[in-house]
């Protein structure tokens, strides 16, 4: 029962025979992924090396356009990625690389947006991931003009509705526990609410650091999982080696959710806050009513550079691996979890057994 653009629904129609939703994976992704995973864009962490390795390994790789500095570097990075993926495809026609994505921060403060979108349009970047504000019609129209997709990240049903009104092709639900800026909602709450209005591509994020969690995300109704933190601890990530090691050494209790460093709530590693001379368990709450926000901003340590972002899933990350080995590991975890599902469901696996 389609009621609007981009698969906006009144109620989600299920297949009469199987009781499942039709698979809404866009054509661009069909047959191109080894696992239902997007490597999420991370400020200062994701560069072309990470993206190339992720796409070669069979998952979508992505980076924030703002990581390419100065802005002319964006075109160099895109050419580097395109060349590397074309070479991979020529050498391995039986397992072509996954498509890649560029993240655009849609916010008045991003003075590069117009330039960066023009470069993405020229290079026909397969997927544009927009964050912070819903994408303006120009961004969506530019991507659609060459058959590109726009996925937008949201933390609430209201944001999801606004993004769908803007004509995006998919929604990324940034749920509790996600690294970097994250919403407060449990995926068990937000995903079903979004599914009531949208049967298009839904991508889930928040502490998804294992193959088992990827499977769980799809069991909950997501089409793809969005994984950032797991890829900080890879050889190809641009994170400081101490940052990678901190991701390996920490567990969920070492993550703090605070608006202190960027003005927006996000998850950060407590040891990096302590290293910057602050008490992570007694952070001041920024007073938006009084604050001279810009002055405060200068006097606090810089988010991302000094204060390192990571999600609550850090406790499942045990080593720093090349991306190829990391994705092998995620696939092994995913398949093991799939095989074990029957046993996990136990007496509830079939209706007859439960009766
Ligand atoms: C260090 C770091 C930097 C991030 N930078 C960005 C960014 O520039 N743009 C963006 O849309 N999301 C950014 N994110 C959020 C991720 O894209 C994604 O939502 C998140 O990593 C998913 O949760 P997980 O880390 O628990 O897997 C960042 C996350 C981290 C950990």
Give the Cα separation of 342 and 345 in Å (integer).
5
For the chain, the residue count is 355
The distance from CA 134 to its chain's CA centroid, rounded to whole angstroms, is 16
CA of 3 to the centre of ligand 1 (A): 32
- The tokens describing 305, both together, are 């550079």
User: What pLDDT, in 10s, does the model give residues 174-223?
Assistant: 999 999 999 999 999 999 999 999 999 999 999 999 999 999 999 999 99
Rounded to 5 degrees, what are φ and ψ at 7? 75, 20
Q: Who contacts 157 (Cβ-Cβ below 8 Å, separation ≥6)?
A: 190, 193, 194, 197
Q: Who contacts 197 (Cβ-Cβ below 8 Å, separation ≥6)?
A: 8, 9, 10, 157, 160, 161, 164
Give the Cα separation of 112 and 17 in Å (integer).
49
Q: Which domains does the chain have, with CATH numbers?
A: 29-240 (3.20.20.70)
Q: Is 214 in the pocket of ligand 1 (CB under 6 A)?
A: no
For residue 226, give the nearest of 251, 201, 246 by alpha carbon: 201
DSSP output for 42-72: -TTT--HHHHHHHHHTTSBEEEEGGGSSSTT
CA of 15 to the centre of ligand 1 (A): 34
Strands annotated E in 176-293: 180-181, 201-205, 224-227, 255-258, 266-269
Q: Is 207 in the pocket of ligand 1 (CB under 6 A)?
A: yes
CB 123 within 8 A of CB 100: no
Q: Is 313 in the pocket of ligand 1 (CB under 6 A)?
A: yes
CA of 62 to the centre of ligand 1 (A): 11
Q: Is 187 in the pocket of ligand 1 (CB under 6 A)?
A: no
Atom of ligand 1 nearest to the CA of 208: 27
User: What pLDDT, in 10s, does the model give residues 22-60?
Assistant: 557 899 999 999 999 999 999 999 999 999 999 999 999
Cβ neighbours around 180 below 10 Å, total: 25
Give the Cα separation of 43 and 283 in Å (integer).
23
pLDDT of residue 341: 86
- Mean residue pLDDT across the chain: 90
CA-proximal residue: ligand 1, atom 5 (nearest): 42
The structure's pTM equals 0.91
CA-proximal residue: ligand 1, atom 10 (nearest): 41
Rounded to 5 degrees, what are φ and ψ at 57? -80, -5
Q: Is 104 in the pocket of ligand 1 (CB under 6 A)?
A: no
Bridge partner residues of 303 (DSSP):
307
Question: Residue 7: pLDDT above 60?
Answer: no
């Amino acid at each position: 029962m389609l009621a609007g653009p981009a698969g906006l629904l009144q109620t989600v129609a299920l297949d009469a025979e199987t009781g499942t939703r039709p698979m809404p994976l866009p054509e661009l992704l069909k047959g191109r992924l080894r696992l239902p995973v997007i490597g999420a864009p991370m400020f200062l962490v994701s560069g072309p090396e990470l993206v190339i390795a992720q796409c070669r390994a069979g998952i979508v790789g992505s980076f924030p356009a703002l990581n390419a500095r100065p802005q002319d570097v964006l075109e160099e990075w895109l050419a580097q990625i395109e060349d590397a993926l074309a070479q991979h495809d020529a050498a391995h026609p039986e397992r072509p690389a996954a498509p890649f994505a560029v993240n655009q921060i849609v916010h008045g403060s991003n003075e590069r947006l117009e330039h960066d979108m023009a470069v993405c349009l020229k290079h026909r970047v397969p997927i544009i991931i927009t964050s912070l504000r819903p994408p303006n019609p120009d961004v969506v129209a530019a991507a659609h003009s060459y058959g590109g997709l726009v996925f937008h990240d949201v933390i609430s049903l209201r944001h999801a509705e606004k993004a769908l009104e803007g004509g995006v092709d998919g929604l990324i639900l940034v749920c509790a526990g996600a690294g970097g800026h994250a919403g407060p909602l449990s995926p068990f709450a937000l995903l079903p609410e979004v599914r009531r209005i949208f049967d298009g591509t839904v991508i889930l994020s928040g502490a998804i650091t294992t193959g088992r969690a990827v499977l769980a995300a799809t069991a909950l109704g997501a089409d793809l999982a969005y994984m950032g933190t797991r890829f900080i601890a890879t050889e190809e990530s641009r994170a400081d080696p101490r940052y990678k090691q901190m991701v390996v050494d920490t567990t969920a209790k070492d993550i703090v959710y605070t608006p202190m460093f960027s003005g927006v709530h996000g998850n950060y590693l407590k040891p990096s806050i302590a290293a910057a001379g602050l008490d992570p368990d007694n952070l001041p709450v920024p007073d938006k009513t009084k604050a001279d926000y810009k002055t405060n901003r200068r006097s606090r340590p810089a988010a991302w550079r000094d204060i390192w972002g990571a999600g609550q899933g850090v406790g499942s990350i045990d080593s720093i691996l090349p991306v190829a080995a990391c994705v092998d590991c995620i696939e092994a975890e995913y398949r093991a979890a799939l095989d074990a599902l029957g046993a996990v469901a136990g007496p509830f696996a079939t209706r007859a057994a439960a009766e």
